[in-house]
Structure formats: structure tokens, C-alpha cells
Amino acid sequence: MNRSSLALLILLFACTVTCGQSITRLNKSPNLTAGNEAREERVLAARVLSLLKRLDNDVIIYRSLGDFEAEGRLARVSFEAFANNLQAVNSESESMLSRMPQSRLKTEIRNALDSYRDGTFWWEKIHQSRVVHVSALTSFENTRTTSDMAFLTTVPYTVAIHWRQAGKYLKRAEEMMNGTRN
């Protein structure tokens, strides 16, 4: 009888210890998961920021309106090269952004990417391809009104503004990554 009581006592003790350990693990797992999520977010954000830096290196961000009017260039590369680079960066970064949790960092990164997209959209409006397609040999220039022509003269400024905004969003995201900005 003494042996069976001792065996029962050991069994109960083992069950209690095992149950206590599993409860402790359950209590610790959210902290571990939160730490892993934060680490994964920083890794994904760093990758997307490096992709956006490729775009940032392609464009010219002017400090003032006078600087832009003096030079007038929108980018260091051709429109086709930038559009292809944007498409590659966009496809790579969208998959990473979808895995990141919603945060201010993700918002800043997404705003930078959107600004590059918007700038490219407007740049395409004024881009004149060096290749002439036969279907484009219509009298399209004659159908533009003076207001259309005036509008088209403002488009380069719009593109430059989008590049500048993208640079600001990118800088904020980098500051968040470095911990110098909340």
C-alpha cells in the first residue's frame, strides 16, 4: 500500500510540474511572438527600403524651384529604364509589405512607393518616345487646345514634387528604422 501511494504521489507531482511548465510556455509565447514579429518587420522594412533606394538613386530631387528650372531634368536615367526599375521594385516590395503588420513605418514606406508610382504616371504623360509608331502619325498635335498645352507645361513640376515627397517619406522611414524618429 505504501508503494502504490508513493507511485500515485509521484505521478501527481509529475503531472503538476508538466502542467505548470506548459502554462508558463503559453504565457511566454506572446512575448516571443511579438519579438519575432518586430524583428521580421525590421528585416522586411530594411529590404523594401533598399529597393526604394534604387529608385531614389535614379531620380533627381531638387532643393528649390530655381534649381529645377535651371536644370530641368527629372531623372538620371531614361523613362523606360526608370519605369522598368519601378515595376521590378514594385513587384518585390508589395509582397514584403503585405507581410508587414500595420504600423507608421509601413505607412511611410508605402507612401514613398506610391509617390514614385504617381511621379511615373505623370512623367509618362509628357514622355516622348524616340520610336515613332505608324498608328501615332495622326494629327494629334493639332487637336490639343491651348489649355491642354498649358497643363502639359506644369507636369514636370508635378513629377518633381512627387520625387521630393518620395524622398521625404523614404527619409522618415529610414529615421524610424534607425530609431531617431518615432
How do residues 83-122 score in pLDDT, each as one tens digit?
999 999 999 999 999 999 999 999 999 999 999 999 999 9
| Per-residue pLDDT at 39 | 84
Average pLDDT of the segment spanning 125-143: 63
pLDDT exceeds cutoff 60 at 31: no
> pLDDT tier at 36 (50, 70, 90 boundaries)?
confident
Residue 3 domain flag: no
Nearest to 161 by CA among 88, 61, 91, 92: 61
Q: Is residue 30 part of a domain?
A: no
Tell me the average pLDDT of the chain. Answer: 81
Residue 139 located in a structural domain: yes
Range of the domain at 103: 42-178
Beta bridge partners of 59: 75
Predicted local confidence at residue 89, as pLDDT: 94
Q: 29 lies in a domain?
A: no
Using CA atoms, how far apart are residues 133 and 129, in angstroms rounded to an integer? Answer: 9
Total number of domains constituting the chain: 1
Q: Is residue 74 part of a domain?
A: yes
Buried b (16+ CB within 10 A) or exposed e, 92-126: ebeebeeebeeeebbebbbbbbebbbbbbebbeee
Which residue did the predictor score with more confidence, 43 or 20? 43
Flag whether 103 is in a domain.
yes
Residue 134 lies in a domain: yes
Q: Is 59 helix (H, G, I), strand (E, B) or coil?
A: strand
The answer to whether residue 23 sits within a structural domain is: no
For residues 68 and 111, which has the higher predicted lDDT (pLDDT)? 111
